[in-house]
Structure formats: structure tokens, C-alpha cells
Amino acid sequence: MTASFPAIRMRRGRTEPWMRSMLAEHRLHPSDFILPLFVCAGQGCEEPIAALQGVSRWTVDRIGAQAKAAAALGIPCVALFPNTPAGLRSERAEEALNPDNLICQAVRAVKDACPDIGVLTDVALDPYTAHGHDGLVDERGRVLNDETTAVLVSQALVQAEAGADIVAPSDMMDGRVAAIRAALEGAGKIDTAIMAYAAKYASAFYGPFRDAVGSRGLLKGDKRGYQMDPANAGEALREVALDIAEGADMVMVKPGLPYLDIVAAVRREFRLPVFAYQVSGEYAMIEHAAAAGAAERDALILETLLAFKRAGATGILTYHAVDAARLIGA
């Protein structure tokens, strides 16, 4: 006898909220998020960032309160990025090695205000260079790999000494993870973790971030000589493999949503934590879409973050971390 009805009705699993919840394959939790925070010079200030609606820079005396509020929502870690004053930027990025620079001050302030939250610091020279590149450049404007790596090692040590729990080299220099790992071990910083920006693409999605750290308009040339070509996927797996072999504790794919295939491939290939950065351009698109009435903001936030988890991300750096944590807890 031929059945006149579907043999299997998939909709049975979607009929009621409790059923959908019970059968959900992936879930978001505040512990999935790392909140990026921008630090600026001065006292008692909040500087709204025009290109990142709803995101601000905070002076050191106010950054601790932001971290404390994030921790209260269950967010386990903050990532700190400086807006270095123009007068302190230089060709050789000397301010990156100042143990009392904005980042080191901010690390100490966060740890004083909220000792139990993790602090991740960016290891790269672009917030400190007058030319906007992530490393030292020669007379032709080419970024020098080994000379830059030596500076990055010193920068990572300064940050670890200030109290950073995770140092995150985002520069894409070859060999820098091994050099930083060796230096941390040699300095007795054996518990300082390395989150390598292993697959960082030369992306068009970084524009608002450059406004946030004050490097917009400084860049001479572009970063395609060291950041990855968006056309390449297999190369990302080679980069990740190298960083793991050099001592990375966890790796990152950046940007996020346009590179979920890379997140998924890295997760399948390697057995270590994989993070993704929902970068400033992605954040701005969601905000602009919601403001234009194209979609409902809260739904966009949660759906896009869930996509990271579905692709296999261990966690997500996102400017929506506080909003998402509140929505999950509501």
C-alpha cells in the first residue's frame, strides 16, 4: 500500500519552542565571546567611534569598569587595542616597547578592577608606526620580517609583564610565534598563552577598526605583502599548521563571516581551540542594516554569532559581545 503522507515529517522537531530547544545542535553562551575594547589617552573620557556606532574608546581610568561589566554578564575575556597619540607614533614603533604605554596601563587597570577576567593583547606594530604597517619597513616600503619579529618579541614580553594572559600576534610575520614562545619561556612567563592570528586575510572589512585605533590615512601602500590573499584557502591550513608547530595555544581566523569556510576547515583539520574575529566591517554592516530597517537588530546579532559556532568556532571576538550576552540571558 502506498502511503499518502510523508514517511518522515521533519517538522515534528520544530513544532514547539521546547522541542526546538531540546533538539538544537548548537547554542550560544556568554563564555563564547571575547569583547574588544579600545583605549585612548586622557582622563575620565569616553570617545564614541563614528565608524563603529555604539562602540567607544575609553581612557585607562574607565577601562576597568567596562571589563567588570563584561565579566558580570559572563564574558570571560577582553581584548585591548590602543589609539596611540600621533606624537608617540614613529617609524620604528618605539612606543610599543614602553612598559607604561596605553596597553600596559590598561592591562593593569583591568586586572585591578576585575582580577578574574582574562586579558588578551594585540602583538603588532600598526598602532604604533607612523606609516601604519604592522612592522618595520625598509627604504622601499617593504615590511621586514625578521627585524619586525625581534621587536614583536620585546612587545609581547612587555605586555606579559604588565599582566596580559594571552598575547595575540596579529602581524603575520613568519616565525614570530616560535620566537615569542621561546622568549616567554625564557622569561618565566610559562602560563602566558599565545593566540596566533594564523589566518589573517588582507580584507576590505577592517576600515572602521583603523578609525578606532587612529591609523586611518597613515598606511602607505597596502598589507597584501604579509596578510593573506582572500582567494586562498589551502594556504590558511599551512599557516595554522606552522603556528601550531611553533607553539600557539590557540589560533584565529580573521575576518569572520566571509571566512566561515576557513573556520570550518581549520576545526576539521586541527584539534585545538579555533577563534574567529567578527571584525569592524561586519559589525558596521549589521548596525547599518538594522538602522535601515532591513532586518531586526537582535535577531541579526544572534544569528550571525550562531553561524560561527555552527562552523566550529570555539569562541568569537565581537563588538556585539555585551548585547549578545544580555540577549542570551534575557
pTM of the model: 0.95
Q: Is residue 21 part of a domain?
A: no
pLDDT one-digit tens code per residue, 183-214 = 999 999 999 999 999 999 999 999 998 888 88
Output the average pLDDT for the chain.
96
- 254 flagged as catalytic: yes
**Which H helix or E strand runs over 168?**
strand 166-169
Catalytic residue among 111, 189, 223, 254: 254
Residue 131: what pLDDT?
93
Domain CATH code at residue 255: 3.20.20.70
220 flagged as catalytic: no
For residue 11, tell me if it sits in a domain.
no
Could you give the 3-state DSSP secondary structure of residue 137?
A: strand
Q: What is the number of alpha carbons within 13 Å of residue 300 lying toward its C-beta?
A: 18
Residue 16 lies in a domain: no
Q: Which domain holds residue 265?
A: 28-329
With beta carbons less than 8 A apart as the criterion, state whether 319 and 52 touch: yes
When divided into structural domains, the chain yields a total of 1
Alpha-helical regions (H) of 57-187: 60-72, 102-113, 145-162, 176-186
pLDDT at position 150 is 98
Answer whether residue 198 is part of any domain.
yes
pLDDT for the residue numbered 330: 64
Contact 301, 328 (CB under 8 A): no
- Any domain includes 5: no
Q: Indicate which residue of 200, 220, 223, 309 is catalytic.
A: 200
pLDDT for 183 equals 98
Structural domain contains residue 88? yes
Model confidence at 220, pLDDT cuts 50, 70, 90, reads confident
* Residue 3: predicted pLDDT: 64
Residue 165, in any domain of the structure:
yes
pLDDT in tens, 99-131: 999 999 999 999 999 999 999 999 999 999 999
The better pLDDT of the pair 216, 258 is held by 258
CA angle 97, 103, 106 (to 5 degrees): 140
The yes-or-no verdict on residue 217 having pLDDT over 90 is no
- H helix runs in 114-249, sequence order: 145-162, 176-186, 207-212, 234-245
Residue 307 within any structural domain of the chain: yes
Residue 5 has a pLDDT of 81
| Cell matching residue 327 | 540577549
